[in-house]
Structure 1
Amino acid sequence: MYIVTSLTDPILTPNAIALGNFDGIHLGHQCVFEPILSANLTSTSLHSTVVTFCPHPQEFFRGQKRQLLTPIPEKVKILDRLGIEQLILIPFNQELAALSPQQFVKDILLDLFQAKQISVGQDFRFGYQRSGTAEELKMIAEPLGTEVMIHSLKTCLDSRISSSRIRQALADGDTEQVKQMLGRSYSLVGTVVQGQQIGRTIGFPTANLSVPEEKLLPRFGVYCVKVILEDDQILAGVMNIGCRPTVAGEKPTIEVHLLDWKGDLYGQTLTVSLEKFLRPEQKFSSLEALKTQIEQDCNQAREILRA
């Protein structure tokens, strides 16, 4: 996939564009992508292009880092897997924030990106003080020859799917609801780094995962997980995320124990998919009590993944 990070970079044109923030790339977002993927299949002249903003507009306006469901490297992999041809990351700055809806559509989308088709969600807002609506986008672009497709909001369990709702479900440890809204399990992608190796001393060696600092972490506790190694091997595992109160941990860590597997994972990039929340983080009276609980967690995970 071709990636553009500056408005001065060369851009593949003309385009069929999906426009939005798309944090999480949930099933609602994927509905917005469908028309541009179809346009790419039926027209050799149009490039399927996702246009989004970096940093996230909320991060720009609030002046603080925003935890993301899909940091840029993860978003790139998912979009590439979906078949998107080009990703344009518009730098969100004061100059962009000051553009009127008309200026943004005409100067950026039509003139610079040469958009011939634009796909957005019903709740899309843009331009100065978010004053532009999806309907206004249609009113500006279509008289100039660019088709605009507006998609109604997708629902799950009788409520609209949204990044905010996914965040809340992750905070609750509701992995099943998250899976229903994303169309896949929520994943943590990171590199295996050196840890304290306490797990090894009680018979449960763990891979300590370092993830991007902007990655949104789920509820602290123990999860049944599937782990994809760099060689695409898929393994069963148990993940603990939290501050490890039994051993007086201070900073949150992500530790993954692979079931019935031995090997060296240091330096590897792992993709850990959260399949089910098993229990909250807790403090045990001894390492022996912790070991007993981990054995129970592993047995429960085996049952879940066999089902």
Structure 2
Amino acid sequence: MWITSSPTTALTPTTVALGNFDGIHRGHEQVIQPILQESRASTALEEQKGLDNLDESNFKETLPIRNGAANDHVYATMATFYPHPREFFSGEAWKLLTPRAEKVKRLSVLGVEQLVLLPFDRELASLTPEQFVEKILIQQLKATHVSVGADFRFGNQRLGTSNDLRAIASSFGVDVTIVPLFTYEGERISSSLIRESLETGDIDKANRLLGRSYSLTGVVIKGQQMGRTIGFPTANLQLPPDKFLPRHGVYCVRVSTSSLSSLASEQFGVMNIGMRPTVNGTSLTVEIHLLDWTGDLYGQTLIVSIEKFLRSEAKFPSLDALKSQIQADCAAARVYFGNGQ
């Protein structure tokens, strides 16, 4: 995937999904689909032209070349804003459901070819809807088709609506697909609702809205190794600073790694997010204990899929009481995952 923070260096022409897309949830995927379809159609056209021009005597020379002068490919592109507009206007850091690395990975799986991070600054924020379309979409991205959600707003003071976008773009001969607000099991899907669900520990609901398990991706670092002293060694996870965390407490999780390691396959575990009040912790930690597994994970990148909220964080009167509760948490996780009594 080509990633750029300047629309002037984007691969063009493009078919563009436009919005914030934090979380890449089920609704976002509906907005992305139209651009994927048009990009695939352009690829099929390229291939057909290559076949039409095929000469057996110079087979290699007549195949279409991607990025060449005669390239007809239209790049499936997501154009989003960075930093998040809320961060720009509030001046406060905005936690993301999908920080950049996670967003890139998810978009790659879906088939998006390019991510354009539009620098959200005072200049961009001051553009009128007409200026935004002409400068960003037409001149810089050379868009042939744009897809947005029905609630998309843009331009100075968010004055432009999705219908305005369609009307302005049509004057340049560009089609705009407006995707209706997407609902799942009777609820409108939104990044805000997913955040609320995570904040209350309703992991089942958050995962249903996302269409997959909410996950944390981070590097295992050395902690205080307190868990080893009570028989429950944990992997201390260092996360991107802009990653949105769910409610403090204990969760059932599935753990895998994209790096080469002794963690050969997906493992089950329990995860604690919180301040560790029983041992007078002073900083937020994310710790994972893998069930029935031992080994060295330091320095490795783990992908932790959150499946179920077990309980809130609590302060226990002693380490023995904490140990008993962790045993109960592990037993509950075994029951949830169906691999023990």
Name the CA distance, whole Å, in 1 between partners of 2:268 and 2:10: 42
Q: Which of 271-280 and 158-167 deviates more?
A: 158-167
In the alignment, structure 1 residue 96 sits paired with structure 2 residue 128: no
Structure showing greater radius of gyration is: 2
Name the CA distance, whole Å, in 2 between partners of 1:68 and 1:164: 11
State the Cα distance separating 1:23 from its structure 2 match.
0.6
The residue aligned with 1:191 is 219
Count, aligned residues: 306
State the Cα distance separating 1:152 from its structure 2 match.
0.6
The residue aligned with 1:18 is 17
State the Cα distance separating 1:7 from its structure 2 match.
3.3
The residue aligned with 1:152 is 180
Name the CA distance, whole Å, in 2 between partners of 1:91 and 1:233: 39
Name the CA distance, whole Å, in 1 between partners of 2:185 and 2:227: 39
Name the CA distance, whole Å, in 2 between partners of 1:23 and 1:173: 19
Name the CA distance, whole Å, in 1 between partners of 2:42 and 2:267: 40
Name the CA distance, whole Å, in 1 between partners of 2:4 and 2:195: 28
Query: What amino acid sits opposite 2:201 in the alignment?
Result: G
Provide the secondary structure at the position in 2 that maps to 1:167: helix
Structure 2 gaps of 5+ residues are 44-72
Deviations 1:132-155 (A, max 9, x none): 000000001123211100011111
The structure 2 residue matched to 1:254, chosen from 266, 286, 311, is 286
The residue aligned with 1:5 is 5
The residue aligned with 1:205 is 233
Name the CA distance, whole Å, in 1 between partners of 2:325 and 2:92: 39
In the alignment, structure 1 residue 286 sits paired with structure 2 residue 318: yes
State the Cα distance separating 1:40 from its structure 2 match.
1.7
What pairs with 1:100-249 in structure 2 (closer than 5 Å)? 100-229=128-257, 230-231=259-260, 233-249=265-281
Structure 1 gaps of 5+ residues are none
Query: What amino acid sits opposite 1:29 in the alignment?
Result: H
Deviations 1:43-64 (A, max 9, x none): 1221100000100011101111
Deviations 1:201-226 (A, max 9, x none): 11110000010111111000000000
The residue aligned with 2:93 is 65
Name the CA distance, whole Å, in 1 between partners of 2:320 and 2:272: 17
Deviations 1:65-124 (A, max 9, x none): 111111111111111111110000000001101111001001110111010010000000
Provide the secondary structure at the position in 2 that maps to 1:43: helix
Query: What amino acid sits opposite 2:33 in the alignment?
Result: E
The answer (yes or no) to whether the contact 2:253–2:304 under 8 Å persists in 1 is yes
Name the CA distance, whole Å, in 2 between partners of 1:142 and 1:271: 43
Q: What is the RMSD of the two structures over their aligned residues, measured on CA atoms? A: 1.1
Provide the secondary structure at the position in 2 that maps to 1:144: coil
Tell me the TM-score normalized by structure 1: 0.97
Name the CA distance, whole Å, in 2 between partners of 1:35 and 1:233: 35
State the Cα distance separating 1:256 from its structure 2 match.
0.2
Q: Percent identity?
A: 57
Provide the secondary structure at the position in 1 that maps to 2:281: coil
Q: Which of 28-37 and 40-49 deviates more?
A: 40-49
Deviations 1:173-194 (A, max 9, x none): 0000001100011111111111
Name the CA distance, whole Å, in 2 between partners of 1:305 and 1:17: 40
Provide the secondary structure at the position in 1 that maps to 2:7: coil
The answer (yes or no) to whether the contact 2:7–2:141 under 8 Å persists in 1 is no
The residue aligned with 1:42 is 41
